[in-house]
Structure 1
Amino acid sequence: MDEIVKAALKKWPNVPACRGWLALDARGDWYMRDERVQRAGPFPQVKGSRILHDKLREFIQRNYLADEHGAWFFQNGPQRVYVELEAAPWVWRLIAGEGAPAVVSHTGAPARVAEALVDERGRLFLATDLGLGLVHTLDMDSAADAVERGLWAPREVVFAELPARHGYRLSPAGDAAQLP
């Protein structure tokens, strides 16, 4: 977490949380969801405005965390901005190499794979030391190569069971009564 964010938390410790305004899609893109977009429908059916500003994306990614209830948020100064997730809290990018591909999150954090999972839609998830994430669609060739070489052996899962099994919430905005 950025030092300026830590300082803001100390200065203003009781700022109410924000829900429904920020989302992460299955390709690792961040979306702003203003009131009009929120009224138009839930994420990801109605995504909102993709955040294109590099410095803002980097700031969000440096301050992206999970709370004790498995709800992911961006700590924006003294305010927690809870994140709507399309599939998982992480989106993995793969870097091909000699052995298994290196795995890096949409935030740039490296991860070590513990298990590969494939859901009923054919999406590949990797359980890692950071948590569960979805392999980016552009990296499925590298993922398929790892499977064919026997480096990963995906186990079939039902997508609806993944959040509870891996300790995260897709929509903290819908769980507002249960969150701080």
Structure 2
Amino acid sequence: MDAIVEAALKKWPNVPHCYGWLALDARGDWYMRDERIQRSGPFPRVKGSRVEHDKLLAFIGRNYASDERGAWFFQNGPQRVYVELESTPWVWRLQPGGGVRSHTGREAKVESAWLDEAGHLYLQADLGLGLVHTADMALAAEAVEAGRWTPQDCIAAKLPALFGYRLRPALAH
């Protein structure tokens, strides 16, 4: 977490949490969801405005974490902005040679692989569960064929309970 964020938390410890304003889709893109967008429909049916500013994306990535309930958030200064997830808290980008990085740029160590009923590949890593980005499925197939990963069958709807994360944090409150 950024030092400036930690300082803001100490200075203003009781700022209310924010729900519904930030979302992460299955391709690792962040979306801002203002009140008008939230009234237009639920995420991911209505996504909102894609965050494209490089410095903002980096700031969100450095300050992205989960709470004790498995709800993911972006710590924006003293305010915790909870994230609605389309699929999983992480979206994995595979690197030639076998490396795995999150949508936020963090390196991850794969612990297990999971394949759902629609053919989506998930990796459980030291950071948590994530969906393999669709553009990286050829690299994923190479890893499976080489025996580095042996996917276990799963049902996508059961993954949040199995791996302890929440798709809709506001429902937890």
TM over 0.5: yes
Partner of 1:86: 86
Unaligned regions of 5+ residues in structure 2, if any?
none
From 99, 113, 118, the counterpart of 1:116: 113
Rounded to whole Å, the distance in 1 between the matches of 2:148 and 2:80 is: 39
Partner of 1:153: 150
Letter in 2 for 1:163: P
Q: How does 1:66-81 map to 2 (within 5 A)?
A: 66-81=66-81
Q: Deviations over 1:105-153 (max 9, x none)?
A: 1111111111110111111000011100000111000001111122211
Q: How does 1:8-87 map to 2 (within 5 A)?
A: 8-87=8-87
Partner of 2:138: 141
Rounded to whole Å, the distance in 2 between the matches of 1:83 and 1:161 is: 19
| Aligned partner of residue 161 in structure 2, secondary structure | helix
| Aligned partner of residue 87 in structure 1, secondary structure | coil
Rounded to whole Å, the distance in 1 between the matches of 2:115 and 2:94 is: 16
Rounded to whole Å, the distance in 1 between the matches of 2:39 and 2:120 is: 29
From 145, 160, 165, the counterpart of 1:163: 160
Name whichever of 142-151 and 84-93 sits farther off.
Answer: 142-151
Shift of 1:79: 0.2
Shift of 1:174: 2.4
RMSD: 0.7
Rounded to whole Å, the distance in 1 between the matches of 2:109 and 2:2 is: 24
| Aligned partner of residue 162 in structure 1, secondary structure | helix
Rounded to whole Å, the distance in 1 between the matches of 2:4 and 2:113 is: 37
Rounded to whole Å, the distance in 2 between the matches of 1:46 and 1:63 is: 25
- In the alignment of these two chains, the number of paired residues is 173
Q: Identity across aligned pairs (percent)?
A: 69
| Aligned partner of residue 147 in structure 1, secondary structure | helix
Rounded to whole Å, the distance in 2 between the matches of 1:121 and 1:115 is: 18
Letter in 1 for 2:148: L
Moved over 6 A (4+): none
Unaligned regions of 5+ residues in structure 1, if any?
none
Rounded to whole Å, the distance in 2 between the matches of 1:151 and 1:58 is: 30
